Amino acid sequence: MQIENLDDLDELMKALVNKGRSNDLYELIAGVSKYCLDESDAVPITDENRKYWQLSMSHLNFVSKYGNTVEVINEDGYYEFPYPEEFQMWISLRCPGLSLAELNKYLKENPI
């Protein structure tokens, strides 16, 4: 499966999260994945979309640790939350910070 453009990523992003690949997606967006390239074609992160990029990172990190059905975690008085609405908004903004080339490289080795 190869993705041609970032306009139709909604189902793919949900599938990655639902199949337990949140951490893989997190690493791609954070730029620490083994699939990251020297030259990135990522949608730029702007002041306007930075909030959704950051909260999507938090959401993916949360889902990686606790799953996709947990609503809040309280560990020693410290609360953690998922941010599904912000994650959805990040997707609707065409996934700022996500590189199509890197995503396709990942999908080539890790098909859905």
Q: What is the pLDDT of residues 31-69, one digit of tens each?
A: 899 999 988 788 889 998 999 999 999 999 999 999 988
**Position 51 in a domain:** yes
Q: What domain range includes position 56?
A: 6-109
Q: Which one-letter DSSP state was computed for residue 31?
A: T
**Position 52 in a domain:** yes
Q: Which of 103, 83, 93 is nearest to 50 (CA)?
A: 93
The whole-number pLDDT of residue 109 equals 95
**Position 1 in a domain:** no
Q: Given phi > 0 = left and psi -120 to 50 = alpha, else beta, which region is 38? A: alpha
**Position 91 in a domain:** yes
The whole-number pLDDT of residue 39 equals 80
**Position 10 in a domain:** yes
Looking at the predicted structure, is the pLDDT value of residue 112 above 90? Answer: no
**Position 16 in a domain:** yes
Q: What is the pLDDT of residues 81-109, one digit of tens each?
A: 999 999 999 999 999 999 989 999 999 99
Domains identified in the chain, total number = 1
- Inter-axis angle of helices 10-18 and 84-92, nearest 10: 140
The dihedral over CA atoms of 18, 20, 22, 27, expressed in degrees to the nearest 10, equals -150
pTM of the model: 0.89
